[in-house]
A and B are shown apart, each in its own frame.
Chain A
Amino acid sequence: MNSLLTQEVPLSWYLLLSALLFALGVVGFLIKRNLITVFMSIELMLNAVNLSFVTFAHQWHAVKGQIFVFFVMMVAAAEAAVGLAIIIAVFRARATLAVDRIDLMKL
């Protein structure tokens, strides 16, 4: 029992979780029709990648991966700000957030 607690979680588990989260994000992006859900799926994918970055950084005792994660988080925050603003603008113009109906570059 003790040994089980002190034992490290193996690398593959993290990676598996990361892949699972990423796949969930992809599937969500592809099948969801609401623009906000699609947007959340993108965030999910980003964080799945973040998880694998951190995992490898821990594995190889290198800090670069963790620094990268900060960059990704920063970009994601900026993207959230811009993306949500765009979503609001689109909703005002079209009165809908259904992805399938937003298929023209023209407003």
Chain B
Amino acid sequence: MSDFIFFKVYLHLWLIPLLPFAGFLLNGILGRRLPKWVVTTVALLAPLGAFVAVLIAGLPIFLPFSSAYLGHAAPTSFVETCPTPWIDIGALHIDFSFVLDQLSLVMLLVVTGVGFLIHVYSVGYMSDEEGYARYFSYLNLFLFFMTVLVLAGNALLMFVGWEGVGLASYLLIGFYFQKTSAADAGKKAFIVNRIGDFGFLIGMFLLLANFGTLTFTEIATKLGQDPGWQGGVVTVIALCLLLGAAGKSAQLPLYIWLPDAMEGPTPVSALIHAATMVTAGVYMIARTHVLFDHSPFALGVVAIVGAATALFAATIGLVQNDIKRVLAYSTISQLGYMFLGCGVAAYSAAIFHLVTHAFFKALLFLAAGSVIHAIGGEQDLRKMGGLWKKLPVTFAVTTVGVLAIAGFFPFAGFFSKDAILYAAFVQGGSGRVLWFVGLVTALLTSFYMFRLWYLAFLGEPRGESEHHHSTPWSMLGPLVILALLSTCGGWIGIERFSAFLAPATGARTIDAGSAHLELILSILAVAVALLGGIVADVLYRQKPTRPAELAAAVPGGYKMLVNKYYVDEFYGATIVKPLLAISTYFLDWIVDKALLGGAAWLLGGAATFAGVLLQRWQSGNIRSYAAWLAAGAAAVLLFVVVPWPAVLANLGIHLTMAGR
């Protein structure tokens, strides 16, 4: 095997997060004083440097992999631990450790690679914006925390990155902070994520209590040593972690923040709220997969949550009119697919879909951004139409993206979605139900994506705004590269991909004997995607009045979908309103104003009153001071000179010390 490693490359892993962090510091502190080209250079060098660093660091992992294909075993991963412990209290020992294995390598390549492309795109997209340097410093900060999250060797360090990307997400959703809706959306994302983080924290505490460690490899070892770890506390831990993952990855019931997060700039939606951060939940489940493997119940919950979210979000996506919201619900739905993949223990298929999804969803978002940029900030699909003539490149790449997400052969989405559906189907039993839900979702996905495509690019122009920005090459370049990736990204194939990931996610052999079944399922999936496209064609191209007629035919159902099943309203009435009432009437009025305020008022009043009385002493009259001094001296003299016990004894009073 050593024959195949021609040179030994060693690169410190901490360089990978450090580069974006340096970019953040530079642009964050000095950005407003630096000329724009310096800001741009720094902002682009940080992710590019990180990407190159990932490539170099990953080389020893790639090389044995290619050799493994020639018949050699290749379990390779790097652990880099800071020599001084991070936390060392009693039995609790946590190190500052980074781990680079196949899983984190794939994830890092997506984060830094797609991240770099989106940085380039942002240079064009944000060029006229006020907070140019602020935007890029936040974006670099996000990359820093995301790489920490991915590289983390233990759950606590992962949590640091986890919270950090949440912070970066909050800052970037609220980038246009003068807009109330943007500021509110940022807060909503942060607060809803806090609920998930609560689950993650409880999960970590339980891990510490039961395993005494937070290091992923040690947990895996301990679980492997004792076959007694099955269900029970492992299920509880896994469900807590699932709550955390559901918060970050916008799954039922915590998905509500993601559609609102579209208030941020569109490249941010592409990078954070489609390609990378929201997939952190999937990554976390894959990283802690041993726990889920030991709890079939938790695994089943993951699958059900994923399938339900996929279908649920897809139905809402059918009727949305804001181009970014359609994509947001589509993202939630696709994340549901990844959870479904994790839930049937096909982790490599889930990660495969994560990668291809990062390509085509980033592409779709950036293309949507290019459309919005070109027609002057309009996001309503009803006011677009006929844009293919004005934006030929954007039209072409969007077509690729739509074909990829709908799952047409040979685009990337076909391979990954197929892998997940196949894994669900071969599980048998309830897996067939999950497969069917996934198939229906694929139909819906294909329909709403073609709907978007028809409404935005084909038909007659419906918008009144005629001013037309040209799209700079800094925006078109990333679009073209992502379109290429969305086309070819799946060609590596699930077998090779899962063989590569096997050391990190466990080797799971999907029974290979059913090549016919696989082919049938694939054809079925493509047929369903085709059907969705045809329905969209019938409704939106051939007779554009039909959707309105259809909506009028089922007014109840249509209203339900347009209002997103009233979930926001439901949460508002059952959680937000009661909390607000408790806060206002009990905490604010009774506790804060009456009890605490009253106590403070009493104390203050007593001090003021005493002051009013005592201030008479401070007359400023020197003779009164002297008189008090003389009186005091006389009193001391009287006390010292007069033999009080004797005097009192004469008066018949005896002083006795108590207890003597």
**A residues apposed to B, CB below 8 Å:** 26, 29-30, 38, 99-100, 102-105
Contact = CB atoms under 8 A, between A and B. Distances in A.
Contacts of A100: 621, 623
A26 B619 CA distance: 20
Nearest to B630: A26
A30 B623 contact: yes
A99 B626 CA distance: 12
B22 to A, nearest CB: 58
20 contacts: A26-B630, A29-B623, A29-B626, A30-B623, A30-B626, A30-B627, A30-B630, A38-B622, A99-B621, A99-B622, A99-B623, A100-B621, A100-B623, A102-B622, A103-B619, A103-B620, A103-B621, A103-B622, A104-B620, A105-B620
Chain B interface residue bracket vs A = under 10
Interface string B611-630: 00000000111110011001
Nearest to A103: B620
Given A38-B622, A102-B622, A103-B622, 17 more contacts: A26-B630, A29-B623, A29-B626, A30-B623, A30-B626, A30-B627, A30-B630, A99-B621, A99-B622, A99-B623, A100-B621, A100-B623, A103-B619, A103-B620, A103-B621, A104-B620, A105-B620
Contacts of A30: 623, 626-627, 630
A99 B620 CA distance: 10
Contacts of B622: 38, 99, 102-103
B625 to A, nearest CB: 10
Interface string B193-217: 0000000000000000000000000
A97 B619 CA distance: 18
B544 to A, nearest CB: 86
Contacts of A26: 630
Nearest to A23: B630
Nearest to B622: A99
A26 B634 CA distance: 11
A105 B625 CA distance: 14
Contacts of B621: 99-100, 103
A55 B622 CA distance: 32
A105 B630 CA distance: 22
A102 B622 CA distance: 8
A55 B627 CA distance: 28
A-B complex: 9 closest residue pairs judged by Cβ atoms: A103-B620, A103-B621, A26-B630, A30-B627, A29-B626, A99-B622, A104-B620, A99-B623, A30-B623
Contacts of A99: 621-623
